[in-house]
Amino acid sequence: MVYFIRLKFKKIYKEFPEVDTVFAGGPASIAQLRDIITKVDGHPTNVLNQDEIYRMLVGQPDTKVNVTIRRGDATLVKTLNRLRGKEFAKIYPDIWKMYQSTK
């Protein structure tokens, strides 16, 4: 089973990814995740590609993911709880299909 944090981001080669969309009511929205993602579970994101970052953000049941963001001059660490894949699939079927195609 896969859990999600309900977030889209854009990644430019060798740069940190920027949060593009946060879905209302999801863990990323509740944590007010926005701006630049500098680390996922302590791993710098500027050396990872978009698929690697995405796979780090999704995970197993009852797990959390620590996302470090840069907001202006501040660095913040947000701990997010992942959503069940089936719950996510009902709300966002198109994104669920995209995830399934990357497995």
Q: What are the pLDDT digits (tens) for 4-26?
A: 566 677 777 678 988 888 877 77
Beta strand pairing status for 74-81 and 43-44?
unpaired
- Alpha-carbon distance 63 to 68, whole Å? 17
Q: How far apart are CA 12 and CA 14, in angstroms?
A: 6
Q: In this structure, are residues 69 and 53 in contact, taking their beta carbons and an 8 Å threshold?
A: no
Prediction pTM value: 0.72
pLDDT tens across 45-96, in order? 999 988 888 888 887 766 889 999 999 999 999 998 887 666 667 766 776 7
**What are the residue boundaries of the structural domains of the chain, listed by start?**
3-102
Q: By 3-state DSSP, what share of the chain in percent is helix, strand and coil, each rounded to 5?
A: 30, 35, 35
Tell me which CATH homologous superfamily contains domain 3-102: PDZ domain (2.30.42.10)
Q: Phi and psi for 19 in degrees, rounded to 5?
A: -65, 125
